[in-house]
Copies of this chain bind each other. A is one copy, B any other.
């Protein structure tokens, strides 16, 4: 029963919260060591998944790209092991004091970061995801319930077996990690709000949306990435073209790829033919509104639906606007609060754009593709959150911690302040 597993994980998470940074790092390095010793076993398990997947590819029921993501080999394993070592070297996100105030003599208040508790992760086929997630949860002191894709069942089981054994050898509570295997397990997980504190779905938009709609547990993630680039009237057009090309073609399936280009009418005549030519020569299909289509040979007409579509493909919609206000209104109404950019040399336009665009990332003269935990310098990335409150944007290890207020006194009562004549000092203490 998942509810029992989750309940035990909750209990184990309390013991896990005690482990020192050194203990967690030793456990991580031990996991890497054991995985290195047991490479053969991992590759053999992966071969079983690959054989099953090959049949699906041949009968057209699995994409070749999915097959290659599923495949484990020595060089991928090297990457996975160095990933674990990297997590071991990262700063421990827990037990940091983010606020310290002396409320009165001998009455000290601290805000201290701590693990979230139990994290449920639902991910798709890439076996490296399991290892990365398990490592991040261990480093941040969280118990973790892992549910991988069925295509990677044998690989995930082998990986989990090694990780779990190695972690428990180094003092991690047995119940602090569990592997879920069926779809029914996922539904039970989504309902286990008494024991699960955070759900992290890593997969398709439809998976994320399904999970968001079917649980009361906080979900870290985003369903869609509808990113915009707005070319302001005062922009350097050559620079603008480079940025648009990068944002569209560097990796069109990424959530931070651009989907809609907004162009100020004052520069549309000069800019649009040039950018269209550059995009089309690289195979990008353009879908234009009635005003932009005048300047773009060979474009399709955009329909209303285009403005709210994440293409995940070499397709870009284009619209002419008469003002920055119109651009901002379009972004706030059709966007997904992920990442949006303005190309401008005008400082005031940039200030306005930054203040009014309601997205996790608001950029000037840079590609939307920078919205990524690694590029932001967060180390590993758990996901990108389009929620309005914390965590927002690309989320690294910090997304797996919350905080508690710690108050220490020596018999202090509230009545001393209300009636006893004592006064709060509220003195901020630094670092």
Q: B-contacting residues of A (Cβ < 8 Å)?
A: 14-15, 17-18, 101, 103, 107, 109, 111, 114, 116-117, 197-198, 218, 236, 239, 242-243, 245-247, 250-251, 328, 332, 350, 352, 354-356, 358-367, 369-371, 375-377, 387-394, 402-415, 417-418, 424, 426
Within 8 Å CB of A369, what residues of B?
413-414
Q: Is the CB of A197 within 8 A of B411?
A: no
Q: Write the nearest CB–CB distance from A335 to chain B, whole angstroms.
A: 13
Q: Write the nearest CB–CB distance from A210 to chain B, whole angstroms.
A: 15
Give 13 pairs: A residue, B residue, CB < 8 Å, sorted on A: A101-B377, A103-B376, A107-B366, A247-B414, A354-B404, A360-B404, A362-B404, A363-B408, A365-B410, A367-B409, A369-B414, A376-B405, A393-B405
A contacts with B: majority SS: mixed
Q: Write the nearest CB–CB distance from A373 to chain B, whole angstroms.
A: 11
Q: Is the CB of B101 within 8 A of A376?
A: yes
- Determine which of B103, B197, B406 lies in contact with A375 in the assembled complex, contact meaning CB atoms within 8 Å: B103
Q: Is the CB of B250 within 8 A of A197?
A: no
Known: A363-B409, A407-B363, A412-B366. Contact between A377 and B426, CB under 8 A?
A: yes
Known: A389-B390, A389-B402. Contact between A412 and B354, CB under 8 A?
A: no
Distance of A350 Cα from B371 Cα, bound (Å): 42
What would 10 more interface pairs be, CB under 8 Å, given A366-B411, A371-B405?
A: A14-B355, A14-B358, A15-B356, A107-B366, A239-B411, A361-B404, A362-B404, A362-B406, A369-B413, A392-B402
Q: Is the CB of B362 within 8 A of A405?
A: yes
Known: A242-B411, A361-B407, A376-B405. Contact between A18 and B390, CB under 8 A?
A: no
What 7 pairs between A and B have smallest CB-CB spacing? Answer: A366-B409, A246-B413, A369-B414, A377-B426, A239-B411, A390-B390, A14-B356
Distance of A17 Cα from B392 Cα, bound (Å): 18
Q: Write the nearest CB–CB distance from A314 to chain B, whole angstroms.
A: 15
Within 8 Å CB of A375, what residues of B?
103, 414, 417, 424
Known: A392-B402, A414-B370, A418-B250. Contact between A409 and B364, CB under 8 A?
A: yes
Q: Is the CB of A14 within 8 A of B361?
A: no
Q: Is the CB of B412 within 8 A of A365?
A: yes
- Determine which of B358, B367, B393 lies in contact with A117 in the assembled complex, contact meaning CB atoms within 8 Å: B358
Within 8 Å CB of A413, what residues of B?
242-243, 245-247, 250, 366-367, 369
Distance of A125 Cα from B308 Cα, bound (Å): 43
Q: Is the CB of B366 within 8 A of A415?
A: no
Known: A103-B376, A363-B407, A370-B103. Contact between A17 and B356, CB under 8 A?
A: yes
Q: Write the nearest CB–CB distance from A194 to chain B, whole angstroms.
A: 9
Within 8 Å CB of A103, what residues of B?
370, 375-377
Q: Write the nearest CB–CB distance from A104 to chain B, whole angstroms.
A: 10
Distance of A134 Cα from B146 Cα, bound (Å): 44
Within 8 Å CB of A243, what residues of B?
411-413
Distance of A352 Cα from B17 Cα, bound (Å): 10
Q: Is the CB of B376 within 8 A of A390?
A: no
Q: Is the CB of B388 within 8 A of A117?
A: yes
Residue of B nearest to A413 (CB): B246
Q: Is the CB of B367 within 8 A of A412?
A: yes
Q: Is the CB of A354 within 8 A of B107?
A: no
